[in-house]
Chains A and B, each alone.
Chain A
Amino acid sequence: MASSSDVTSSADRTPGNPESGSEERRGRVRMRRAAVMAVPATLVAAGLAVLTAQGALGVQFAISGMPFTVTATDLTGTGFEQFGSLDNMAEGSPNAGDTGGQVLVVTSAIKNATLTKLCQSVDLGGTNLKIQAGSGSQKVQATDLTTDSTELSGNASFDNIEIGNDASTLTKAGVKGPIGVFSQQADTVHIANLRQVNYATTAGVFKLPGLKLSFSSSGC
């Protein structure tokens, strides 16, 4: 490289090269020019946040690899499936602990779900990221909601439940499990005081009226 030979000859004078280093015209950010983009972008971002908080805009979620807690005072859904499966974490994940990177989970899939007072928190080590929504008159709505949970509690009631199906023959919510695994499915589901510890969740569309995103010392 040419620059390395320059440095050896004039290493004691300046850190940069004498001809290019001291007179070099650097590129720079012009604040007024950046503001031309920053101002509309901020307005659009604020608009998106407001629309989501009003429940007018649905947003998609896909989280996994970290255990997180979901609570809701009331969950009503149509098209319910549940079966056991195994979640694999990304290789070398710091969340693996003594599990060897695999967790036994219960996969629940709900075609259409309505949740009241949804609260979701992720432990980030010391502080919790907390998302709350649906505490007002409008409820949280999710379609194609799939969760992988290690713990699930609440008072549940089902309509038309079929228990003991093979997981590969499920039809109610469109998800199929591994063959030869115990499963159950139902037309409708109602769970009061829901509490889940999840490893993965995905939802086709999530509507979050009254969205509140905050960092807090306590989880849900």
Chain B
Amino acid sequence: MTTADRPRQGLRPAFRHWRARRPFWGGLLLALGGGWILLTEKASLKVVLHIGMQGLAGYLLPGLMLLLGLLILFNPAQRLFYSITGVLLSLGTWVTSNLGGFLIGLLLGVTGSCLAFGWLPDQEPRRGRRVRKQAKPADGAGLTKV
């Protein structure tokens, strides 16, 4: 009711609308998985440089996972390529990065990639939502469109 509530009411539907047009959870989980793996391996750069390319791959893979997760969120049109690359990178982190961030990051990454792969735009609303809509008087237009 106060002025502080108003922007929130404006932002939340906007966010819902934004979320509806992209594989939100898929991208988010993949990005979180990459971030988590990076957190588990904050080795000093000096040691990484000593070990060389093999050590750098341990940072490259989760870094790319993070990037692909964000790309899925902000460029969902290319989600197939991003999610297939994402699942391969997630599986690769098992070898390169602390067993995929002690398994947690790997699971997040694979789950996120699968959700992004399985996501399709413009789906019929869920049954629960349709039932709720039928209770309202103005449901005719929505159903004929389907």
Q: Which of A57-65, A71-79, A189-197 contacts B (4 or more CB under 8 A)?
A: A57-65
Scoring A4, A37, A204 by chain B CB atoms within 10 A of each residue's CB, the highest score goes to A37
| Chain A 109-136 residues near chain B, CB threshold 8 A | 129
Residues of B within 8 A of A174 (CB): 50
A52 proximity list for chain B (CB < 8 A)? 94, 99
Q: Residue A152 at the B interface, CB < 8 A?
A: no
Q: Does A154 contact B (CB under 8 A)?
A: no
Give A38 to B26 CA distance when docked, in angstroms: 12
A30:B43 contact, CB within 8 angstroms: no
| Residue B54 CB within 8 A of the other chain | yes
Is the pair B13, A16 in contact by a Cβ cutoff of 8 Å? Answer: yes
Chain B neighbourhood of A33, CB < 8 A: 117-118, 120
Number of interface residues, chain A, beta carbon within 8 A: 57
A20 and B22 CA atoms in complex are apart in Å by 16
Inter-chain contact B20/A26, CB cutoff 8 Å: yes
B41 touches A63 (CB 8 A): yes
Whether B66 is near chain A, meaning CB under 8 Å from some CB there, is: no
Indicate whether A37 sits within 8 Å of B13 (C-beta atoms), given known contacts A27-B120, A29-B115, A174-B50: no
Instruction: Name A49's closest neighbour in chain B (CB-CB).
Output: B94
Closest Cβ of chain A to B26, distance in Å, is 7
Q: Which of B14, B44, B141 contacts A87 (CB 8 A)?
A: B44
With A62-B41, A87-B44 in contact, is A27–B115 under 8 Å at CB?
Answer: no
List, in ascending order, chain A residues with CB within 8 A of B20's CB. Answer: 24-27
The reply on B95 being an interface residue by CB < 8 A is: yes
Chain A positions 183 through 204: 1 when the CB is less than 8 Å from some CB of chain B, otherwise 0: 0000000000000000010101
Q: Does A166 contact B (CB under 8 A)?
A: no
A36 within 8 Å of B by Cβ?
A: yes
0/1 interface trace, chain B 33-52, chain A, CB 8 Å (1 if under): 00000001111100110110
Interchain CB contact under 8 A, A4 and B21? no
Asked if B83 and A37 make an inter-chain contact with CB atoms under 8 angstroms apart, the answer reads yes
Q: Is the CB of B98 within 8 A of A204?
A: no
Q: Would A60 and B96 be within 8 Å (CB), given that A29-B118, A88-B44 are in contact? A: yes
19 CB < 8 A contacts A-B: A1-B14, A3-B17, A8-B6, A23-B145, A25-B20, A26-B20, A27-B22, A28-B126, A37-B118, A38-B118, A41-B110, A41-B114, A52-B94, A57-B95, A62-B97, A63-B43, A174-B50, A202-B43, A204-B51
6 tightest CB-CB pairs across the interface, nearest first?
A34-B118, A4-B10, A26-B20, A28-B123, A62-B43, A33-B118
With A27-B22, A37-B118 given, name 5 new contacts (CB 8 A). A41-B90, A49-B94, A200-B47, A202-B48, A213-B103
B residues contacting A by CB (< 8 A) are 6-7, 9-10, 12-14, 16-17, 20-23, 25-26, 40-44, 47-48, 50-51, 54-55, 57-58, 76, 83-84, 87, 90-91, 94-99, 102-103, 106, 110, 113-115, 117-126, 133, 136, 138, 141-142, 145
